[in-house]
Structure 1
């Protein structure tokens, strides 16, 4: 693995960032580090951190740090590798004799002892000096304890004379008594000072090598060390080339490789135990008495102690359940075992609520995210089968069984009136609606959500798909397949056609689009005509049934035929292929029939509405000149097109679903087009873009969307990347132009990267799109 950190040589501009951003409004662009000029004149370090393992011993970890001075003058540099133990001893939950230790046993070697991990050796090599003397730079080993500095923070006595900031104070403030003179502790650092002759010359580099090993071999053999690192690099290059063996542009291959890299670097150890958080630790003062009654009070069973894929371990170092499901798609291409473990974890009893709800994220485990885990589970199963030739039916069945609980929770908790119309709530789309969807409506009544109902149809079809796969081996799953088949038709029928005397359906015939509606019960409801992703999500609920699968499952086939015969009206309204089979004699299950599909596509593929140069917008550009507003008791609620950052503080103001492009939801739209094409084939063509005069089948529409999304990252004919927003240095500087940020979302007009800059999680899906299309 390889990591690049660009370290400025100038003083970090904290005050400039604070003061300049304070003067800007939400309508202005954020003033970022790169805007401050701190990298001007190339006065920075490119620090590459490489990690490799020995072939015969996976516990043998080799690290190489190479720091290049990109500036025009010599500059001093201090490289200080650390090794430390996570503090598990200060809380009163471990016996004192179990406390680990790290001690110096040689000039450049420290030994760590741990009651579970055993002994490890932190071994360092002399570094070639950067000065005129040619002398090697030897590390100075520094030791302290990984304990909080109570005196500095709260003015009370420290539990140990040597605390965790001691190494910083020794190096920066020259406080020699801040580290342990006995060369022992629970935290150790190796201090390399490259400061001879004013430091590292311009264009030159400093190199530090060290390893963490079970063996104590003294000083490292640098030549052997570098050979191992280079061998691992060559193996990694070969592995990633095999992932996408078809010819593709070097730029695309680089984008894909860095997306994979980001997924790996966003793994993180995550530890949360509700009981300890709420009740405190024996060795510490008790927490505030009200803690047990605040957020997450209904999640007392939570005990998290795992390596998780984070949305962004740099900026968002906590799990988000629906993000994780998307992460697993990209990760399955390179590490299907890890993907399966992630999906399994969120359904285990120490994560999933006893009532079947999946935890959303740490600030509110009880919030509601889209139900995408069944989709992710089956996609991971198929990716592993296609790319690695393995079928993990045990994982598929195990996680499916737990998802049955989650599906039941959705049906019981999010379908208030039992009419198969769902009011899911937040659903991960932050500010997409007129109102805050996590709160009660100011109008009273219930928000019937087109996207929530679409998500549930999608969930139902994915559960059906899994049942059909499992039924090939165990016929008992035919009955479950029949259950989900019929449940989907009930959801579809409720969304499209209400019974006499009930409120209107969510489909608007005049506009040819799905809208949310406020329902006050019975026939009283009010549609809110906002053209957003909410109205596109019903497209996700699409499944083609292969005739050979149906014929292999006689019990399922019999039930389908019974339903078509005895519930003829419902079947004809909701199964597009009752009277006409599709390509390959397939059946099509979909919330959207052919006529509605065409009408939705007319808007989705209109460049004045949803279709942008770089994908599908989350809100139609129509609302730029036609904002939707609603007055409730004298307060105005409005939705307008905002292609960039949010202009409100809703959900912290750092996320926006009113115009920007989000890769995860685009990915699902692409898959939906592909599934429709499986049924309709080349017979169904739509204008793309709308009003262009160019018609293409939905398979080509899917490819067009993938290529547009790739152009967020790929260089254009002018050498620029859309995500960089015209920044000259990012686009053309040889030390910047080949590196990408994988942003959280993207400007709906320009493709400019927005939000978290390292959100490789679901933005990493670009790797799968490149794999599929090149």
Structure 2
């Protein structure tokens, strides 16, 4: 099916053909800039403590800005966001609040209720909902109760405070509709959900990022009050963006200040003037407008509206940021822009694929919206960060040898699909690859550019390593980029009818460098069994696999080896697709074929010289500790680490082989002269006139592993594949070098302090790994067809095809977000009553991971990043 040429698609085409820059403005304003590594200039690298939420309203950021329901230009020069006050809080609600890593009993955690409702790829229409309590926001209660809870207890959430029980809150809907690439219409609709009247202050805030305190600029930007006939407005003058007008309806007050640090408040140093970043807080909360009347220009501005809303009443505020000078900024054409963009948004998503099931359609639309709202501006130049800026004090010398000091070539200044815009407001390389797979359905050009970005010289290290994430760029994330490149290529081919071989060439050439880095860095014994450390799976092992391996040993990892086998097959498949149109790449097919064979042989073989990591008796792959004296000890944890061996699989058709004679000759040579020396077949039943299946596990082991995966007593849950087998409800203990280590099945929040934070791989369901498993099943299905059927679930007596199993797995994952027979969604298991309310019922959050027994959402509450993969599954099922 080829996507329809809708109005939104025309805008995308105009943008990528460089006719109109429809992506200049978007939801790129960070949800959290404070508490990040890039804003941390402390000697000891205490990012959470150095720049806090309490500092954020009074202190200027160096590397970005943040705000509520905001938007900005792609380089974060001019920013817009909401500020609100309910008349009771001690501060304005200017940004989302949450707990730092040390404050939460399960790590960092945003403590707000907000939802991404709509967004289009060009951000021609965006819709955001924020629920603001009418009672005083319980900042202190949230900190105190979470800090006092143990890891065995649930997080204390905003809904648990009871502050929403009597509907004492405002629904605040922020909508953006672009009349043109440089003409943004804004509507803020506030509804009092309570039956009693309630007062609210609304400050739609416009400000410019502060560069002038850190570096030289052609001139300092300004926002100045202007005189117009019809609508009040301000004029923005900026050396990097040019000039804009910001129109608004008549307010109660005009507030101007400077986006500059309040030195007196933070450092007890005298200010040169009173108009600092937090001036609006002092003015509104203290109800003192005397100073505000004296200032008519600045670098931060807000029209201030004070409204008392009757019970159930809605008030609407209209604003417009534009390079144009309309006679009436809010005439009937203003409303028509919204009507048109809302209609075009629906047409665009129906044009991708019309999902008839209304429940599935609702889920998919919000998944796409969340992915797009997670686009954030990211700026971090490590060398400049280490040495500090010339116009401010020099950072402590300890920092020069601290975090990320060996990444001085890294210079990031781009828009990224963040994992979670509040809890993880920085990219993680393997997360980003999964994000791009879903993005390929709605904006494949952005997906390709995003993936290629990590291979640029200002990202990738000179040795070929791809940066992991800002807390430690040197950590090793799984190499998912080649896998994602193939998925993007196939999705664009199938949905848009375009086979972008140039993209495959570009990504292939750069990933060849990264592949070599992996081979050189992570194969310690040069035996094609790989390490890699935690590989994104945090606490899945009995100890931290990234450091301090017990017994002075090294760890041969099933997942490290499996990732490299998958990487090999992905590079092989990419080289095949390129070689079909460019024969010069055919030799690369042979290279990656050979490399895969070496890895598959190493993982599977048993001989007198080497003990493999497949346990014949238990039918499972286990990580293997290898000590300095050559002895080894398996770590018999049944987790998705062992299951990862299933994902390295590639089906190559006979027709493809016939079109690549040199590659076919190499495969045939291997079959005749090399394969007879292997006990385990890594080429499945291949003959001269047949398809070829390359798999890391031979068929007999495949069937054993799949029956384990589909066992509801082990990995299979009602909502997908668990990350750890349920057999570990009985704690597994191992003694290594006279020290005991253990692990047990934890289906929800982590009870382990390993890695800190809120991540848990000891039982919950994770969407990206389930996506990998269903993709692998498709490859096996294409090769075996009806020749391989399995009992599903294991022990049920029901025999099913691989395709039936694959679809059932996806249906189980989708069901996490679907209403059950009682009208409840599993994702909302802890707050069912709240989400039965008509004003909550259709609101869906896409969490980081999900309870291994009931599917409730856990971890980062807005990680629509890789959890948006559910949209891909809906695309296949409905």
TM-score w.r.t. structure 1 length? 0.95
Q: Which residue of 1 aligns with 2:665?
A: 558
Say if 2:652 is the partner of 1:545.
Answer: yes
Say if 2:206 is the partner of 1:98.
Answer: no
Distance 1:160 1:498 in 2: 76
Q: 1:528 aligns with which of 635, 641, 648?
A: 635
Distance 2:516 2:394 in 1: 38
Q: Which residue of 2 aligns with 1:235?
A: 344
Q: 1:765 aligns with which of 860, 864, 869?
A: 869
Say if 2:268 is the partner of 1:118.
Answer: no
Which one has more relative contact order, counting CA pairs under 8 Å at least 6 apart? 2
Q: 1:378 aligns with which of 466, 469, 486?
A: 486
Is the Cα–Cα contact under 8 Å of residues 108 and 139 in structure 1 kept in the other structure?
A: no
Q: 1:665 aligns with which of 741, 744, 769?
A: 769
Superposed displacement of residue 217, structure 1: 2.4
Q: Secondary structure at the match of 2:583?
A: coil
Is the Cα–Cα contact under 8 Å of residues 563 and 571 in structure 1 kept in the other structure?
A: no
Q: Secondary structure at the match of 1:652?
A: coil
Moved more, 564-573 or 543-552: 564-573
Distance 1:180 1:297 in 2: 47
Superposed displacement of residue 14, structure 1: 1.8
Q: 1:589 aligns with which of 680, 694, 704?
A: 694
**1:262-411 matched pairs, under 5 angstroms:** 262-411=370-519
**1:690-701 matched pairs, under 5 angstroms:** 690-701=794-805
Is the Cα–Cα contact under 8 Å of residues 601 and 682 in structure 2 kept in the other structure?
A: no
Q: 2:298 aligns with which of 169, 175, 185?
A: 185
Q: Which residue of 2 aligns with 1:174?
A: 287
Superposed displacement of residue 19, structure 1: 2.7
Distance 2:305 2:266 in 1: 29
Is the Cα–Cα contact under 8 Å of residues 501 and 523 in structure 1 kept in the other structure?
A: no
Say if 2:160 is the partner of 1:35.
Answer: yes
Distance 1:408 1:498 in 2: 27
Q: Which residue of 2 aligns with 1:149?
A: 262
- Going from structure 1 to structure 2, the CA distance change for 1:293 and 1:180 (only over 3 Å counts) comes to farther
Distance 2:660 2:292 in 1: 71
Say if 2:313 is the partner of 1:204.
Answer: yes
Q: 2:729 aligns with which of 600, 624, 628?
A: 624
Is the Cα–Cα contact under 8 Å of residues 641 and 659 in structure 1 kept in the other structure?
A: yes
Superposed displacement of residue 691, structure 1: 0.5
Q: 1:215 aligns with which of 324, 328, 332?
A: 324
Distance 1:178 1:593 in 2: 77
User: Which sections of structure 1, spanning at least 5 residues, go unmatched?
Assistant: 127-137
Moved more, 671-680 or 517-526: 517-526
Q: Which residue of 2 aligns with 1:129?
A: none
Q: Secondary structure at the match of 1:42?
A: coil
What do the CA deviations read for 1:98-138 (whole angstroms, capped 9, x no partner)? 21111010362001011221110001134xxxxxxxxxxx3
Superposed displacement of residue 219, structure 1: 4.1
Q: Which residue of 1 aligns with 2:793?
A: 689
Is the Cα–Cα contact under 8 Å of residues 729 and 737 in structure 1 kept in the other structure?
A: no
Distance 1:167 1:392 in 2: 51
- Going from structure 1 to structure 2, the CA distance change for 1:317 and 1:708 (only over 3 Å counts) comes to same
Q: Secondary structure at the match of 1:104?
A: strand
What do the CA deviations read for 1:595-650 (whole angstroms, capped 9, x no partner)? 1111111111111100011000000000102x211234553210110101111221
Superposed displacement of residue 52, structure 1: 0.8
- Going from structure 1 to structure 2, the CA distance change for 1:537 and 1:183 (only over 3 Å counts) comes to same
**1:426-575 matched pairs, under 5 angstroms:** 426-502=534-610, 504-520=611-627, 524-569=631-676, 573-575=680-682
What do the CA deviations read for 1:273-324 (whole angstroms, capped 9, x no partner)? 1111100001111000010101211101010100111011122111111100
Q: Which residue of 1 aligns with 2:98?
A: none
Q: Secondary structure at the match of 1:650?
A: coil
Distance 2:634 2:737 in 1: 18
Distance 1:163 1:570 in 2: 75
Distance 2:380 2:409 in 1: 11
What do the CA deviations read for 1:522-548 (whole angstroms, capped 9, x no partner)? 751111111000010010100001111
Superposed displacement of residue 498, structure 1: 4.3
Q: Which residue of 1 aligns with 2:129?
A: 4
Q: Which residue of 2 aligns with 1:78?
A: 201
State the superposition RMSD in angstroms: 1.6
Is the Cα–Cα contact under 8 Å of residues 682 and 697 in structure 2 kept in the other structure?
A: no
Q: How many equivalent pairs are there? A: 750
Distance 1:730 1:465 in 2: 48
What do the CA deviations read for 1:676-725 (whole angstroms, capped 9, x no partner)? 11111111111111100111111111111101101110011111110111
User: Which sections of structure 2, spanning at least 5 residues, go unmatched?
Assistant: 1-125
Q: Which residue of 1 aligns with 2:186?
A: 63
Q: Secondary structure at the match of 2:549?
A: coil
Q: Which residue of 1 aligns with 2:844?
A: 740
Is the Cα–Cα contact under 8 Å of residues 609 and 621 in structure 1 kept in the other structure?
A: yes
Superposed displacement of residue 437, structure 1: 0.9
- Going from structure 1 to structure 2, the CA distance change for 1:358 and 1:8 (only over 3 Å counts) comes to same
Is the Cα–Cα contact under 8 Å of residues 78 and 192 in structure 1 kept in the other structure?
A: yes
